Structure 1
Amino acid sequence: MNVRRSGALACLLIAGVLSGGATRAATVEVEVEGIEPAASDLYVALCQGGLSEKECRIGQDAPVRGTVQRVVFRGVAPGAYAVAAFQDVNGNGRLDRTGLGLPLEPYGFSGETPRGARPDFGRAAFALREPGAALRVRLSRALPPR
């Protein structure tokens, strides 16, 4: 192979890698329903690989402005995600739980996560592709308010 030809081939390969490897971004719109009328904050997170705090690193919080609220995540890389949300009724910045781990504040997940069962990423997950996704999360309580 001559030098001129190998240089052109290298340029084509580099251009192909750069254009094919460009990071793509999507938008996720989450409509949260079932918010209790209380002066509180709403926390919504995108989770990858699981539903623990460690895996739910893309998050937003906002003051509650009604019983339904929309949260938008922009510039999210396509992939498999789940949404976890809760209403911080007492304002301490975390989801309070009983000694057995049951949530004391309104919470919810995307997908088909049944109430009373341990949340499962596989049941809550959705595939995010360009240009994005719109979904609903319904908050509810595991236990009645104290």
Structure 2
Amino acid sequence: MFCQLFSLFLLFGSFVNTLEVKIQGIEEPQGMIRIAVYDSDEVHLDEEQISFFHEEPVNATGEMTIRIQLPEGSYSVAVFHDVNGDKALNKNMIGMPKEPYGFSNNAMGTFGPPSFEQARIRVPDAERITIKLR
């Protein structure tokens, strides 16, 4: 049993990489930063199929850095500042976000969110990314 577990650790443990996500533009020292990572175009921005999720409390304005562990691969990263802590990206009547948000590559869509390709990063090629909230 130990040999099998050790073999799995060697097989999968060596492929885990740290991605450092620097989030800039935090204007209110409250709520949570929520990070969702997607591993393909098919699941990009599908809240039911997030590949990796992380949340961390906000205690100051300015910027914060969060380190997440990911296996090698292509990903898009979506971040939002859940200022009121209701675990939802609040939107106005026409569907525009009312809370600060951002994507990897600081990608922006023309009419709506960016595509997976616009936000795609490659791990471990990208060890550090910066996302500016808007």
Q: Same fold (TM over 0.5)?
A: yes
Match of 1:35 in 2: 26
Q: Pick one of 27, 34, 39 that aligns with 1:48.
A: 39
Structure 2 CA distance for aligned equivalents of residues 54 and 136 of structure 1? 25
Match of 2:58 in 1: 64
TM-score, length basis structure 2: 0.78
Q: Which has the larger radius of gyration?
A: 1
- Deviation string, structure 1 residues 73-111 (Cα, Å, up to 9, x no partner): 12x111100110001111111111123321110000011
Structure 2 gaps, min length 5? 1-6
**Residues 51-130 of structure 1 aligned to structure 2 (within 5 Å):** 51-66=45-60, 67-74=62-69, 76-114=70-108, 117-119=111-113, 120-129=115-124
* Number of residue equivalences: 120
Is structure 2 residue 11 aligned with structure 1 residue 22? Answer: yes
> What's the CA shift for 1:118?
1.9
TM-score, length basis structure 1: 0.72
- Deviation string, structure 1 residues 47-96 (Cα, Å, up to 9, x no partner): 1111221343311111112220111112x111100110001111111111
Structure 2 CA distance for aligned equivalents of residues 135 and 117 of structure 1? 24
Task: Write out the 4+ residue segments of structure 1 that deviate beyond 4 Å after TM superposition.
Answer: none
Higher relative strand content? 2
Structure 1 CA distance for aligned equivalents of residues 48 and 73 of structure 2? 17
Counterpart residue identity of residue 128, structure 1: V
User: RMSD of aligned C-alpha atoms?
Assistant: 2.3
Tell me the percent identity. 28
Structure 1 CA distance for aligned equivalents of residues 92 and 110 of structure 2? 13
Structure 1 CA distance for aligned equivalents of residues 129 and 111 of structure 2? 21
Match of 2:4 in 1: none
Structure 1 gaps, min length 5? 1-17, 141-146
